Amino acid sequence: MPELPEVEVCRLGISPHIIAQTVSKVTIRDSRLRWPIPDEIHSVVGLQVLGVDRRAKYLLLRFKTGTLLLHLGMSGTIRIIEHDTPIVKHDHFDLAFQHGKVLRFNDPRRFGAVLWLANDEDKLGLLSKLGPEPLSDDFSQGYLFHKAKNRKVPIKTFLMNNHIVVGVGNIYANEALFQAGILPTAKTGAIDEQRLDRLTNIIKKVLSAAIAQGGTTLKDFTQADGRPGYFAQSLMVYGRAGQPCVTCQSKLQEIRQSNRSSVFCPNCQQD
């Protein structure tokens, strides 16, 4: 599943092509995504894109009357293409613009989303209950320690809770915990404030590096211009179970947490 850096890279990729551009046509080929694509989306025809933002893993296309919300799900991709580009299987949604470009959403597994939120409206509560952005000032020293008090859940599970902080998905939680020297199974409430503050800084560093390098190359994700991301070359633990630790050469171990893979070094990482 694309994680925060991949979605941010996608935002950066599509923004120059659609900001200040006027929608000429909306095409819905198959509305059966995670939630049905609402007919209200047709209301953006004739409107100009005022901005492209990101909240957690949601892309937000801002219009005068509301927001078009896009989520890539597990296998979704967004491309900026020419208007005459042939349709391929799983091309479910098009947003065509007067200057001849088309934003096309393709999603084989259909776990993604294309939704319309009128101004100041969030019917499904998708955005209102989210925690702070990890690269924002709201996610700062003392925040994790305050939220961690009396929490007995494993720290990796804690970090992947979008009510705590958004966008620290499985790949980057693995990487940040390794760099912070904390086992993914460590009980959250037992970790002292100094280590949690260091973890906060490392999360920011890891995510920023991933964005700067173009996002991680995942099976179902490439950038808006079709180029793959490059951060996978820099991963220290994720996807390297059984290989030697880059720091101490110990064999990296793998466990399952909440049906997700956790890879760690038993020597470098502690409770």
Q: Which residues are catalytic?
A: 2-3, 57, 260
Q: What angle do CA 212, 15, 124 make, to 5 degrees?
A: 100
Grouping H, G, I as helix, E, B as strand and the rest as coil, residue 22 is strand
Contact 210, 168 (CB under 8 A): no
Q: What is the DSSP code string of 86-97?
A: PP-TTEEEEEEE
Burial label for 111, CB within 10 Å (0-12, 13-18, 19+), is middle
The Cα–Cα gap between 12 and 8 comes to 6
Grouping H, G, I as helix, E, B as strand and the rest as coil, residue 235 is coil
C-alpha distances (whole Å) from 155 to each of 105, 148, 238, 266 are 34, 9, 16, 16
